[in-house]
Amino acid sequence: MKKLTLLSVILAVLLSASCVMPEYEPIYYEYEQTLNEEIIDYGNHFRIYRTSYRVEGEHHHWLYRFEILNNYGEIVLSETTHRRWDLGYVNERTLRLHGFAGPQTAWVQFYATDKDEFSQVFLAHHLVIGDLIAHIEWSFYGNHTLIVQHIFDTSLYYRKFALENLSSAAHPDFVIRYMEYFGGSRIAVTYLAGEERVETTVIFDL
């Protein structure tokens, strides 16, 4: 199994959520790594380690090392960052990876343990609905779109829904309040609309 290695720093500007593996904040500092690395969380398919380091003239800081494992215990992804990720299971066969690339840009990605497969990286507000994910496709021109798709295979399900008259913002996370799935086949999106930022809810049939 070829081991996947990530570069540092997610691209500051992504015009769509169709990117591949995420890239993270680079570690620029030269540091003295101590010998007190400890495992702080783990599951059947992941391990999180924490290590302290010291930049000359500063106090100790934390580094986090994340390992994603397949069903055979082999490491399929390993990354060290300054920011701790949130790792957990969506269901018994899907692991969710969630973190931040910068102070205001959240990302989420999924790992299918039964297929040994990573999803694309999704940015901005999202909602998981079984094997589907609803997320916002962000545009500099304000034409934000709600996309509902299969997490791993868009040939199984993929639909776009226009979100009209969203308030101007640098990022949809500032105007999307929340998303809710209900009735077995409908999704409601609540967002701020227009220059007066009026809270508005629209409902889409899937």
59-117 pLDDT tens trace: 667 889 999 999 999 999 999 888 889 999 999 999 999 988 766 678 899 999 999 99
- CA distance linking residue 112 with residue 128, whole number of Å: 14
Q: Same domain, yes or no, for 3 and 99? A: yes
Q: Where are the beta strands (DSSP E) in the chain?
A: 4-5, 32-33, 38-43, 46-54, 60-69, 75-81, 86-91, 94-100, 106-112, 117-118, 122-123, 126-129, 132-137, 145-150, 158-162, 176-182, 186-193, 198-205
What's the confidence (pLDDT) of residue 15? 35
Q: Same domain, yes or no, for 26 and 118? A: yes
> Residue 7 — pLDDT band, cuts 50, 70, 90?
very low
Q: Same domain, yes or no, for 109 and 139? A: no
Of 7-11, 52-56, 181-185, give the range with the top mean pLDDT. Answer: 181-185
Domain boundary among the residues 87, 103, 123 is at 123
Residues belonging to the chain: 206
Q: Same domain, yes or no, for 62 and 97? A: yes
Q: Same domain, yes or no, for 156 and 104? A: no
What's the confidence (pLDDT) of residue 111? 97
Q: Same domain, yes or no, for 42 and 9? A: yes
Task: List the one residue out of 24, 133, 131 whose CA is nearest residue 79.
Answer: 24
Q: Same domain, yes or no, for 140 and 116? A: no
Write the single-letter amino acid at 131. D
Q: Same domain, yes or no, for 99 and 4? A: yes
- CA distance linking residue 52 with residue 35, whole number of Å: 8
Residue with tokens 């990117």: 19
- CA distance linking residue 97 with residue 29, whole number of Å: 25
- CA distance linking residue 96 with residue 131, whole number of Å: 12
Q: Same domain, yes or no, for 23 and 97? A: yes
- pLDDT higher for 136 or 66? 66
Residue 180's domain comprises 126-206
- CA distance linking residue 133 with residue 157, whole number of Å: 10
What percent of the chain is modeled with pLDDT above 70? 72
> Residue 173 — pLDDT band, cuts 50, 70, 90?
low
The model's pTM is: 0.76
Report the domain count for the chain.
2
